[in-house]
Structure 1
Amino acid sequence: MGWHQSFITFHSVPVEEVLDDESVSVEWKDQIRFIQEVKRFGEERLGLRRTKSYSRFFEVKGPVLHVITASEKDRLQPYSWSFPFIGRVDYKGFFTRRGVLREKDFLERNGLDTFIQQAGAYSTLGWLKDPIFSSMMEWDRVILTNLILHEMTHSTIYFKGQTDFNEQLATFIGNRGAIEFLIEKFGPGSKEVAEAIRIQEDDLFFSRWIDQACQRLSTYYAKEIPREEKLRGREEIFRSIKEDFKEIKVRLKTDCYKDFDRMDLNNAVLLAYRRYVHRLEKFETLYESQGKDLRRVIEFFRRVKASGDKSAVASFLE
């Protein structure tokens, strides 16, 4: 992965060169300026960390990153990888499909469930200048705003070894931050703001639903029955979860989770989906207590991070 990251860093170009290039379309240039506008909003209005990210441009074909999640088969226990500086992480990214499939084969030969997803961006947590990828040029601006603020959150607040919490915090700030930016950019009655609100509402709805689904599965795994029987019996629960989702799917307002019931469910799939939305209502409660001031919420977590109090995150989630 290090070689590919070095390649991206070396071959990316300053966005000024792209903006000055007459062969680049007006639409692409507008999208680049839009990304930089979102970044300024995140830094100046929300208090997210100032970095040199999104100041360079990289041409990419296909997904930016292939991400794999793995889990034990007889319990909702994620497999984790250890990395320098950031600690243990419950997923691993690869720049090539070949690399992620090799990892998938290794994990499955060791008896684990696996799930592969594609990512359109990632954060180096401020260590490097994260570029604007050419694939972002085609993105819907509501999704793009959310994504940029999500990744900026990782560069600002990152708790070592707390994968789920980091992603949930970034989901919350991406959702709320996108609504605030789009209100300022397009107006409170705009279609962009309406879509951002629908995404936020769907995440909250799906959060409650998948938490219940995972609790149901965990209760089953806690039974004192032979492992082989658990593995056979879980298939019926997976089928039931998919059927349940088909019934509640009509209540979703966006397409964010439209393909969930088409998945071949296993523990890794459920953990990967839950990772980003688990207990989102906790963050909403904090947001309410801070006068619905997102900057104050971000400042709160920056103070928690600076304090070095490892128990603070755990107590917040209780």
Structure 2
Amino acid sequence: MVKKIFLGILFFLLLFLGYYHEEALYGIRQGKGQLQIIFDAKPLSSYLEDPEISEKQKAKIHLIQEIRQFTIDSLGLDYTESYTKMYDQKGEPILWNVTACKPFELTPKRWSFPIAGSFPYKGYFIKDLATTERDELRKEGWDADVREVSAWSTLGVLNDPILSSMLERSTGSLAQLVIHELTHGTLYVKGSITYNENLADFVGDEGAKRFLIYKYGKYSEEYIKFMARSGDRKTFSEYILKSTHALDSLYQTFTDQMSVEEKQQLKDQKIKEITEGLQHLSFSNYNYCTYFDDFTPNNTFFMSYKRYRSKQNEFKKEFEEDFNGDFHAYMDYLKEKYQPMFKYLKKMF
């Protein structure tokens, strides 16, 4: 009987790997990359005692611990062991995301994986694999791009380490990033990337404001700089989201009778108008006017920006009107409404 069960499991496994061989190979590579970072991460004490680590970097490590505790005490996020270790990147990026979008629609390509579901991006720990996938997608007619990722989350399944590059961020930016990623570890709605990223961005923004006031005060240099940067980011975000809507409206006018060349010409003209339009905006702290100096955006940029920022006003309205700005009440409500993804796995680990 045991032999039959074993053979049955083996047959199922071989069948699974045969049918999903590409996904299985990708999953093995991703698992290897993530586990390597997890296993190579060292306790914070080893960095705090290292004379090669600057006092400024050590201060940022301590700051991250304060931010972690603040998210539990004041924002209602779950306690995890994330950010209690650090991975030294040796000054190198560790992860790249590939995104793709239809050339004349703001419709992203989605990659499906057994159990995990589908995602509008694909991550790689090896840059050459990411650029190869991007080039293949472009040959197939997709708008495709590769972007370096500054942080990633295992959604609370594993204990994510601090990445050494995070220590180079400003105080406000660091608080925003840490809170964003810890939000993923507390709540992640399966199959709804736009909801998850918008929620994490909202909690990251609002949580960072509250942390900076708590630690430094409302009239501190740290808080004032963060708010100035946030104001500029809001101006930029509203412009890009409005431009995304205008680009989408243009695509809605395209007909089957139009040639690809004609569509491409109108698309290029609209994107040029959008990038040049930044020059007419006013920024006080961060010069977003030069944002597109080094690249020309395609549909993946507009689709990705919409994924992260399109629902900020909705979250803010719900948070303030329905929960009177009470983060604990809001997070309790969300955790009750949307059971965290992989909740059972979090208990195992």
Which stretch of structure 1 is more off in the superposition, 54-63 or 147-156?
54-63
1:237 maps to 270
The answer to whether the Cα contact below 8 Å between 2:187 and 2:339 also exists between their aligned partners in 1 is no
* Distance in 1 of aligned mates of 2:237 and 2:167: 29
Does structure 1 residue 215 correspond to structure 2 residue 245?
A: yes
Cα deviation per residue 1:56-114 (whole Å; 9 max; x = unaligned)?
A: 11110322321222100010001112234442111122222212101111211211001
Read off the aligned partner of 2:332 and give its amino acid letter: E
The answer to whether the Cα contact below 8 Å between 2:278 and 2:288 also exists between their aligned partners in 1 is no
Read off the aligned partner of 2:42 and give its amino acid letter: V
Which stretch of structure 1 is more off in the superposition, 117-126 or 221-230?
221-230
* Distance in 1 of aligned mates of 2:333 and 2:228: 26
Instruction: Find 1:160's aligned residue among 186, 190, 208.
Output: 190
Percent identity for Structure 1 against Structure 2: 32
Does structure 1 residue 270 correspond to structure 2 residue 302?
A: yes
The answer to whether the Cα contact below 8 Å between 1:207 and 1:280 also exists between their aligned partners in 2 is no
1:88 maps to 118
* Distance in 1 of aligned mates of 2:274 and 2:263: 16
Instruction: Find 1:26's aligned residue among 41, 50, 55.
Output: 55
Cα deviation per residue 1:232-287 (whole Å; 9 max; x = unaligned)?
A: 32111111111222212x24643467414653121112112222111311112112
Does structure 1 residue 5 correspond to structure 2 residue 34?
A: yes
Which TM-score applies when normalising by structure 2? 0.82
What's the CA shift for 1:123?
0.5
Read off the aligned partner of 1:232 and give its amino acid letter: Q
The answer to whether the Cα contact below 8 Å between 1:150 and 1:171 also exists between their aligned partners in 2 is yes
* Distance in 2 of aligned mates of 1:227 and 1:47: 54
The answer to whether the Cα contact below 8 Å between 1:176 and 1:294 also exists between their aligned partners in 2 is no
Does structure 1 residue 288 correspond to structure 2 residue 307?
A: no
* Distance in 2 of aligned mates of 1:32 and 1:236: 46
Does structure 1 residue 40 correspond to structure 2 residue 69?
A: yes
Instruction: Find 2:132's aligned residue among 102, 107, 116.
Output: 102
The answer to whether the Cα contact below 8 Å between 1:149 and 1:174 also exists between their aligned partners in 2 is yes
Cα deviation per residue 1:124-170 (whole Å; 9 max; x = unaligned)?
A: 10111111112122221111110000001111111111111111111
2:333 maps to 300
Which stretch of structure 1 is more off in the superposition, 23-32 or 213-222?
23-32
1:226 maps to 258
1:316 maps to none
1:56 maps to 85
Q: How does 1:114-153 map to 2 (within 5 A)?
A: 114-153=144-183
Does structure 1 residue 259 correspond to structure 2 residue 275?
A: no
* Distance in 2 of aligned mates of 1:13 and 1:239: 47
Which stretch of structure 1 is more off in the superposition, 220-229 or 120-129?
220-229
The answer to whether the Cα contact below 8 Å between 2:97 and 2:123 also exists between their aligned partners in 1 is yes
CA gap 1:132/1:73 in 2 versus in 1, 3 angstroms: same
The answer to whether the Cα contact below 8 Å between 1:175 and 1:196 also exists between their aligned partners in 2 is no
SS of 1:306's equivalent in the other structure is coil
SS of 1:153's equivalent in the other structure is helix
Which stretch of structure 1 is more off in the superposition, 106-115 or 22-31?
22-31
The answer to whether the Cα contact below 8 Å between 1:12 and 1:56 also exists between their aligned partners in 2 is yes
Read off the aligned partner of 1:73 and give its amino acid letter: P
Taking only aligned residues, the RMSD between alpha carbons, in angstroms, comes to 2.1
* Distance in 1 of aligned mates of 2:156 and 2:298: 34
1:198 maps to 228
What's the CA shift for 1:188?
0.8
The answer to whether the Cα contact below 8 Å between 2:236 and 2:288 also exists between their aligned partners in 1 is no
Which stretch of structure 1 is more off in the superposition, 148-157 or 201-210?
201-210
CA gap 1:41/1:86 in 2 versus in 1, 3 angstroms: farther
CA gap 1:3/1:120 in 2 versus in 1, 3 angstroms: same
* Distance in 2 of aligned mates of 1:255 and 1:180: 25
Does structure 1 residue 173 correspond to structure 2 residue 203?
A: yes
Q: How does 1:58-73 map to 2 (within 5 A)?
A: 58-60=87-89, 61-73=91-103
Structure 1, unmatched stretches of 5+, are 309-318
Cα deviation per residue 1:286-316 (whole Å; 9 max; x = unaligned)?
A: 12212122333322322221399xxxxxxxx
